[in-house]
Amino acid sequence: MAGSYPPILRMRCVAQTYDWGIKGSGSTVGRLYALGTSGSAAAAKDDVPYAELWMGTHPSGPSLVLPSAKPDQSGSPCTVLVKNDAAEGEPQLLQDWLDAHPEALGATVQQKWPGQLPFLFKVLSVAKALSIQAHPDKRLAEQLHATQPKNYKDDNHKPEMALAVTPFEALCGFVTSRELRESIQSVPELRMAIGEHHADSVLRAGKNGVNGVNGVNGAHEAQECAEQRAFKDAFRALMTQDGDVIQTHLSSLVARLQHESKARELTDKEQLVRRLEQQYPGDVGVLSAFFLNHVTLQPGQAICLAANEPHAYLAGECIECMAASDNVVRAGLTPKYRDTDTLCSMLTYKQGCPQLLNGTPITPHVSVYTPPFDEFEVEKISVPLGQTAALPEISGPSILLVFRGSGAISVAPANGMNKVHGSAAAVAAAPSYVQGVHVGDVFFVPAGSHKLLASAVVETDGEDSEPVLEMYRARVNVQAQ
């Protein structure tokens, strides 16, 4: 049954400590986690690789909602910087709270994803490469979860988007057939690792196109199919090659590049191969880099990754949002379980550079990143010191991360009272509800028609003084509502 609750609920989130994470307070994940749980970045442990901060309901890293203190009520939200952690009561799993308050999801989300927050919000701090991987579509996820529940812990798909907050490197999507042919011709070790038969098939398919076969009566489409088939077969041949063969040719390649680096500047991909081999010696994923696009996102740029598309994050830090799933099919650059046959079979084998998103400004202080997925989109909110900005009104639930700076969020119902799920109830809100916010804070904002105003102020007793209040908000894609 719906009850009274504040329009903003403070969350306590889980930090995942994977081997590839950045250690200590040098990790944005470690710093945010330490600030959010203890109030001090110094609480981040120097020897711990803080990899991911999870914000959501997924059972592999579920967030808690904290008991609420009496809201600050002031006519000047810029002067109110009091946290509400001192409230009485016990923390509660966000999912349990939503089970008790399903109207907090809003009517549209309740109808499409009953009882579920459809997205998982994260921050990533990447020191070394993640696995060569892809995420299954919904049908495959259901099959994998049914047959291998130990390795695939849920039955959902996992489209995702990464938004860079530092320069962020990734392998993403397949290169063109032309680029692969150039690599096969210039890297003899790759050719031998693939095998002469499959390497020659890639080269022959390209030669047929160069000879002009692709211009007559649909032969262009036939040529593209032949090139893609040769590409696909070559990738599978590499990924399933005997480990000793891979190690032999990879060692030869690294030795040659070491020698040639003294006489010439190595290509971008050659430098990457040397770096990956240092992180994962003898791993087939190092050679698979020749099949994949190497991209570097600049802060503020984002990339979308649909189901069944290969990728590997390499270095840097990002905000990430995805459908609420943790399903990953891996085949290289990892000590974890590899499901190479599934990966090679599930991929679309689309080729070409991925499209980057730069965000669409919707107010002077807010840009939105909208992927072609129903479950989520992300707002970047930047409020200069001393200013106040209205956040876009949305009808569904959202999660708000304070990434930098300090200030306040004031909440005012649009019509004096929030109307949630068709009834005037559920949110106890005064004409003005003010919540102090600090870097590291995370909040769940229930669905409703309330208005949010963000104000940036100087933190007088904190560890940092920032000229801007920077926040990120994950929400359901408004086009799906």
Q: How far apart are CA 31 and CA 310, in angstroms?
A: 30
- Determine the Cα angle at 104 with ends 98 and 106, to 5°: 125
Structure tokens at 28: 């944005």
Partners of 23 in beta bridges: 49
Report how far Cα 217 is from the mean position of its chain's Cα atoms: 44
If DSSP codes are grouped into helix, strand and coil, which group holds residue 454? strand
Partners of 320 in beta bridges: 122, 162
Structure tokens at 273: 């191969």
Residue 223 CB neighbour total at 10 angstroms: 19
Please report the sign of the dihedral spanned by the C-alpha atoms of residue 38, residue 42, residue 45, residue 49.
positive
Among the options 10, 31, 236, 330, which is catalytic? 330
Residue 26 backbone phi and psi in degrees, to 5: -70, -15
Structure tokens at 98: 């939503």
Whether 330 is catalytic is: yes
Q: How far apart are CA 473 and CA 55, in angstroms?
A: 11
Residue 82 backbone phi and psi in degrees, to 5: -100, 125
Q: How far apart are CA 5 and CA 90, in angstroms?
A: 15
Structure tokens at 345: 């079979």
Q: How far apart are CA 21 and CA 125, in angstroms?
A: 6
Q: How far apart are CA 138 and CA 29, in angstroms?
A: 29
Structure tokens at 49: 């690789």
In sequence order, the 6+-apart residues with CB closer than 8 A to the CB of 346 are 134, 136, 137, 140, 308, 329
Q: How far apart are CA 223 and CA 454, in angstroms?
A: 56
Query: What H or E segment, with its residue span, contains residue 388?
Result: strand 388-390
**Of residues 7, 1, 80, the one with CA closest to residue 430:** 7
**Of residues 449, 464, 472, 470, the one with CA closest to residue 106:** 449
Buried b (16+ CB within 10 A) or exposed e, 324-356: bbbbbbbbbbbeeebbbebbbebbbbebeebee
Tell me the residue length of the chain: 481
Cβ(58)–Cβ(93) below 8 Å: no
**Type of residue found at 134:** A
Mind telling me the catalytic residues? 330
